[in-house]
Chains A and B, each alone.
Chain A
């Protein structure tokens, strides 16, 4: 599956806050078309690593290459059009309608999205195109995050970054939206990097799981390999949680 030149490459990327080493020199390639999950406990540096890609955080050492170019050398506005960003806070602009929110990225680039394209994007995330004229405070949490995904896709990005995108949603919505994102990933031929602390979500959605601890990648495995016991203690510690939950649930279901 690996293409000859990776879409995304971290070369010793590091970030220091004061004297805290948030990311400690990560080197890693991400191939075009892959769905990668970054998993780790709070403070393991996974969000910081992700934000280095769209330069919301700049590395203090090393660099991040996107399509072979150093991201810090690219104009931020142009870079962020090619890189969709979805995060837990959603961050819809409360003074703009759903349509205006979705169209904001292209608008910044001087392009006006036609209503048909906005309807198409809303349908893509399974929302009624009539919602285009609504204001964000009229939507439910799940609907808002769907609009957030539609906004991230409006600029037809090559890369989709997601930072705990479903963290604030109820389990049903979360599951449905996860499935949807995976489906869009396939359909649109995206490359997706998703940060999550939920190993079950990572195993179910991603085709490659990077486990982070104390700013470093401690495991880089496929979901299948992780379930087979690869990846070391920290990774296995994280895998054990959903596995034990599943076993306990199975035990409760099975007849005595």
Chain B
């Protein structure tokens, strides 16, 4: 699956960035935001069903 490969790559690069710059704050924020995105993306595909139900 292409998308998993790219998620892995992105996380690896985020980790590399944090390591290089000692910017550890980046990791939790990046993960939080990625999870949020998941919600948003999922939100946009299941939204019609949410509407039909509620």
A and B co-occur in one complex:
no
